[in-house]
Amino acid sequence: MRAGAAGAGAEHVRHRARGARWLLGALALAALAACFAAVDPRGSGRAGRPPVRAAVPDSPTNLAVDLAGDVWVTMATDNGDIGLDRYSAGLSWRGGFMSLGDIRDLAGRPGGGMVMDLSIPIPDEPDLPSLALISVLSDGMEQTLAWDLGLGEVDYVRSIAVEGDGTVDVLIAGDAGFTTIRRYSPEGRYLDQMTIEPWALDMAIGQDGLRYVVYDDPDAPRVLRYGVDGGLAGSFALPSTPTGITIAPDGRIFIPSHEGVGDNSRVERFKPDGSSDGGFRVTGRCWKLAAGPDGSLYAVIEERPSWSIQRLSATGGQRGKVEWGAMQRRRAAHPATVTALPPPPSATPSPTATPSPSVTPRRPATRTPSPTPDGGEPTHTPPTGPAPGSATPPPPTATASGAAPQGPHTYLPSLSR
């Protein structure tokens, strides 16, 4: 009797084990089927779920203030396009456009309008680095001038600043942090360049004509001041890691920085001589800062998960704020014309120029050299043309709207709205 009961119990256990194995097998098959269902079988004709990717929300990326006090704001989108919006000093939306490519920095011009860099992928040539242009926009947001910087494969623009006479200073980072500042005339003619300490983050030009270059080295955050000849004219340390720099009309220097690992920022304020003038805290992360002609500060601030553009006083008092959602609704209410940047290589770079295959954009096969292995000072030669400081400017030659291009490195995309 006991033996029979034991046998029945063993059989029951074996039955339950087989059931568990069947259940686990069914679950495994279901999981496998779900995996296949989540993959879009391209060309199979079956309806599959699209592949999941991390969402990249639209967000403001940078800003600058023009002579009239209008605020120009760049934005990134989840489809890779870029936008440039324009707001009044009181943050009322005034206009804008969408385009292709990328904008790293922009700066107001003394006569009105804006100068910005524009990185554009070359159509049908994905293996080549993007074109790196300097684009000049009029007060009416129309492109009037553009020139190709002729950057190498690893070079890119970090910052743009405009001198009082309209000369354009371009901070360029290269291999191993190798950093130069190139200077161009208001018409896009190459003037000269200087090599500065590597790994620079941002740049602004002070009332004294010096270039204030900020470094975000977490071990030694600092600002170095350079003259036109590239000579070091002074420096001062920063209390925390900076995210940018701007200089107000009265000469005071404002530097946003992150406080440790929290989500708040602090804006440090300095006198023109580099001595501390206090500062103020900002709720959220202040990524970019620009000063207006009336002394107001405009900031790109991230308050996770939202963004805003804020107008602040020199002491941190809030004078206005536009939430990013409201900015997008204003854009939807007043849609800008989407521009096509750039035209295909076979098309003319200028709306009125005669099509010619000679204007197809091509990247020169040069790159910015790294510092020498023995630690010596590297030498740098512009992509084409004579050495820096020469009276004869090298190509690329700037092209005005409606003018015929002057060479293979000249490229003017259409920004008409």
How confident is the model over 322-353, as pLDDT tens digits?
Answer: 998 877 776 666 555 544 344 333 323 333 22
pTM of the entire predicted model: 0.71
- Supply the pLDDT for residue 63: 97
Residue 372 lies in a domain: no
Residue 148 lies in a domain: yes
Residue 298 lies in a domain: yes
- Supply the pLDDT for residue 334: 57
pLDDT band for position 262 (cuts 50, 70, 90): low
pLDDT band for position 305 (cuts 50, 70, 90): confident
Residue entry with tokens 């939807």: 332
Residue 84 lies in a domain: yes
Residue 234 lies in a domain: yes
Range(s) of the domain holding residue 259: 59-333
Mean pLDDT along residues 311-326: 92
Q: Give the model confidence (pLDDT) of 222-255 as tens digits.
A: 999 999 988 999 999 999 999 999 999 999 999 9
pLDDT value at 114 more than 90: yes
- Supply the pLDDT for residue 194: 95
- Supply the pLDDT for residue 326: 79
Residue 207 lies in a domain: yes
- Supply the pLDDT for residue 374: 35
CB 341 within 8 Å of CB 119: no
- Using the CB atoms, write b or e for 400-417: b if 16+ within 10 Å: ebeeebeebbbbbbbbeb
**CATH code for the domain of 265:** 2.120.10.30
The domain tally of the chain equals: 1
Residue 226 lies in a domain: yes
- Supply the pLDDT for residue 40: 35
The mean pLDDT value of the chain amounts to: 73
- Starting at the edge strand found earlier in the chain, the sheet holding 93-99 runs 59-65, 71-76, 82-87, 93-99
Burial class of residue 176, CB neighbours in 10 A (0-12, 13-18, 19+): middle
pLDDT value at 319 more than 50: yes
Residue 366 lies in a domain: no
pLDDT band for position 153 (cuts 50, 70, 90): confident
- Supply the pLDDT for residue 376: 38
